[in-house]
Chain A
Amino acid sequence: MPRLFSLLILLVSVFIYSSIFHDVWESRKQVRTDIPAGYTIPSKFSRILSLGHQGILSDFLFLKVATFIGGKSGAGEILNEDDWQFVIQSLNVNTDLDPYFVDPYVLAEGVLAWDAGKPEEANQLLKKGMEYRTWDWRLPFFIGFNNFYFLKDYEEASSYIMRAAELSGSPAYLKTLGARLAYYGGKSKTALLFLEEMLAEASDPLLKKRLEVRLVALERAVLIEEALDKFKIQEGRAPKKISELVSTGYLIVLPPDPYGGKWGILKNGRVFSTSKLANAPQKKATKKEPTSQ
């Protein structure tokens, strides 16, 4: 009899457990989404608390940040300022724990510069990486890119690209790119070269998809810019409207902007798109449009 009773209690317990199991996880899910952003223990403490396992702690912390960003993006949520501060803080601690770990730097470039519109913060992290990963050409390359594309500081960009070009393993075109940057500045074609390299480097599917759309947009901007340049040389003036390029035969058709904007020419003769080459919710992330001179 007592045995039967125990069995009954066990069955009831299993039943209750299985019925509340789902609710427990659901409530945790709710708690996790309600928390605006996590808190990262400053590196001066976590280095001590890790008890010699700084490496594995940095791996764990990196996964945490990547999951945090991926989770928000997957749910279609836009990260707010607090969230970005958490990401920056975590990546900082992460690189304090293991300054040679390359993934946080790549993530910083991928999300801080592109999505958060914080190229300066990304540069700060990348500069820290450069102190340690002295052989890695990608870090100065990324800084150069950020200076060129987001901060429009062509001189600085050129100097970092030159530094990247000097390191072994860097693509051959970097050598000419550095010089071209200093000379041409903000041509869309220069941006295209950069972007192709970023795409080849990207392995995160989300980032890759975004870069691919941007690449198409830039390729089209380059196409229009080239037609515009030809028009200027042959006609001796700038076209009044962008459609004039099509009507005069310099362009067969006006390629659509993949972000849904409309192409136009600014008074100073630059090509721009009304979408600013960004999806509506990501406006903050990518403010700058490729321009031509």
Chain B
Amino acid sequence: MRSIIALATITFKEGIRNRSLFGIALLALFLFGLNVTVAGFFMRDVGKVTVDMNLSALSFAGLLLIFFVGVNLMAKDIDRKTIHLVLSKPISRSQYIWGKYFGIQLFVSASLLILFICSCLTVGLLLNLYPNYFIGFSWMTFILACFFVLVKFSVLTAIVVFFSSITSNSLITLIFSLSSYVAGEAIEEVVFYLKSEFAAQEKMISESLQNFIDIVSYLIPNFAVFNFTLEAAHGLAIPSQRVFLSLGYGAIYIVMLLILASFIFSRREFN
């Protein structure tokens, strides 16, 4: 356990030192500033637009963090062969995987926390500027939606760690993780569309394709599960059962993926 914590701390520090962090933070700040400007263009649902823009900015910044910093944190050791140095220490390969995962996760959480505070300031500012247009707004739902952005990225980090354990090239990890992300975000819409009556009437979907989509929906995570933007934007009630189900779904997926990654990584040979 101690070695996992040590490795996580090192990975976290390494991530924080990355220069691209400033660029991403600047981008997020720009998006929040844009939000303040754009909100005035709308007739009445200013609250909804604000929440949409804030959550999307958080999401976008998180994606950049994982794909530009997270992927490198994982792949650098293997790319630069420093992994031999790490593995010569009394640390097992699965501990290495878990340590790296928690390190990246800590780094992403800390960065998102700072962005979240900026985001709250933006929302607070707009709330004061347009108090009449935030009728349905609830801080609780907004904070919950922001928290689930983090949960989504925890799953994505696990995906990055998983692919890093298979390949030794950071570009391939990036491409695989990005594809999984895109597929994970879209899968729910595709599955429900194929099941809809409209698609059945068109009869354009072959049975083998249907089966293929079914299998894919088991393999990749459904990121829509973690999306509470609609509820946050309109202050709709979220049943607690859904919150726990989403959390459980995310947690179990992460555990499965990391155990698999540990298996693969333990059997891997480094040149």
Say how far B47's CB is from chain A's closest CB, in angstroms.
10
When C-beta atoms are compared, the residue in chain B nearest to A203 turns out to be B43
| Contact between chains at B224 and A56 (CB < 8 Å) | no
Contact partners of B122 in chain A: CB under 8 A:
none
A102: which B residues are within 8 A, CB to CB? Answer: 44-45, 48
Contact B52 A55 (CB under 8 A): yes
Rounded to whole angstroms, the CA-CA distance of A98 and B53 in the bound complex is 14
Q: Which of A49, A51, A58, A106 has the most CB of B within 10 A?
A: A51
Q: Is B245 an interface residue (CB 8 A)?
A: no
| Cross-chain contact B43 with A55 (CB below 8 angstroms) | no
Q: Which residues of A contact B51 (CB under 8 A)?
A: 55
Query: Number of B interface residues, CB 8 Å?
Result: 30
Q: Is the CB of B45 within 8 A of A101?
A: yes
A55, B229: Cβ atoms under 8 Å?
A: yes
The answer to whether A53 and B236 have CB atoms under 8 Å apart is no
Chain B 43-63 residues near chain A, CB threshold 8 A: 43-45, 48-49, 51-53, 55-56, 59
How far, in whole Å, are A241 and B56 apart by their CA atoms in the complex? 65
Tell whether A51 pairs with B185 under 8 Å between CB atoms, given A44-B193, A59-B53, A100-B230.
Answer: yes
Q: Report chain B residues within 8 Å CB of A48.
A: 186, 189-190, 193
**At the interface, yes or no: B9 with Cβ under 8 Å from chain A?**
no
Q: Which residues of B are found within 8 Å of A54, using beta-carbon distances?
A: 229-230
Q: CB within 8 A of B227: which of A52, A101, A204?
A: A52
Q: Are A101 and B186 in contact (CB-based, < 8 A)?
A: no
Looking at the assembled complex, report how far the CB atom of A98 sits from the nearest CB atom of chain B, in whole angstroms: 7
Q: Which of A47, A56, A98, A101 contacts B56 (CB 8 A)?
A: A56
Instruction: Name the contact of B59 in the complex, choosing from A53, A62, A100, A204 (C-beta under 8 A).
Output: A53
Chain B residue contacts of A44, Cβ below 8 A = 189, 193, 198
Q: Are A51 and B182 in contact (CB under 8 A)?
A: yes
CA distance A34 to B49 in the complex (A): 31
Q: A271 within 8 Å of B by Cβ?
A: no
Q: Any chain A CB within 8 A of the CB of B104? A: no
Q: Check if B233 is an interface residue, CB within 8 A of chain A.
A: yes
In the complex, chain A residues 48-94 whose Cβ is within 8 Å of any chain B Cβ: 48-49, 51-56, 58-59, 62-63, 66
Tell yes or no: A107 within 8 A of B by CB: yes
Q: Is the CB of B43 within 8 A of A107?
A: yes
- If A55-B233, A98-B233 touch, whether A62 touches B42 (CB-CB below 8 Å) is yes
The answer to the question of A103 belonging to the interface, with a C-beta cut-off of 8 Å to chain B, is yes
Chain B proximity mask over A165-190: 1 for CB below 8 Å, otherwise 0 = 00000000000000000000000000
The residue from A59, A66, A100, A204 contacting B236, defined by CB atoms under 8 A apart: A100
- B147–chain A nearest beta-carbon distance, Å: 16
- Whether A56 touches B44, Cβ cut-off 8 Å, given contacts A48-B190, A100-B230, A100-B233, is no
Minimal Cβ-Cβ distance residue in B for A110: B43
- A56 x B53 contact (CB < 8 A): yes
The answer to whether B44 and A103 have CB atoms under 8 Å apart is yes
Contacts of A56 on B, CB cut-off 8 Å? 52-53, 56
Check B41 for interface membership: any CB of A closer than 8 A.
Answer: yes
Known: A56-B52, A98-B230. A204 touches B43 (CB 8 A): yes
Verify if B102 is at the interface (C-beta below 8 Å from A). no
Chain A residue contacts of B234, Cβ below 8 A: 100
Say yes or no: is B223 at the interface (Cβ < 8 Å to chain A): yes
Within the complex, which residue of A55, A59, A103 is in contact with B230, where a contact is CB–CB below 8 Å?
A55
A78 CB to nearest B CB, Å: 23
Contacts of A63 in B (CB 8 A): 38, 41-42
Docked pose: A203 CA to B198 CA in angstroms: 39
Which B residues are within 8 Å of any A CB, using their own CB? 38, 41-45, 48-49, 51-53, 55-56, 59, 181-182, 185-186, 189-190, 193, 198, 223-224, 227, 229-230, 233-234, 236
What are 20 A-B contacts defined by CB distance under 8 Å? A44-B189, A47-B189, A48-B189, A51-B185, A52-B59, A52-B185, A53-B59, A54-B230, A55-B56, A55-B233, A56-B56, A59-B42, A62-B42, A66-B41, A100-B48, A100-B236, A103-B42, A103-B43, A103-B45, A106-B43
Q: Using A48-B186, A55-B48, A63-B38 as known contacts, list a sample of 12 further A-B pairs with CB atoms less than 8 Å apart, ordered by residue number in A.
A: A49-B186, A51-B181, A53-B52, A55-B52, A55-B230, A55-B233, A59-B49, A98-B233, A100-B234, A101-B48, A103-B44, A203-B44
Q: Which residues of A contact B (CB under 8 A)?
A: 44, 47-49, 51-56, 58-59, 62-63, 66, 98, 100-103, 106-107, 203-204
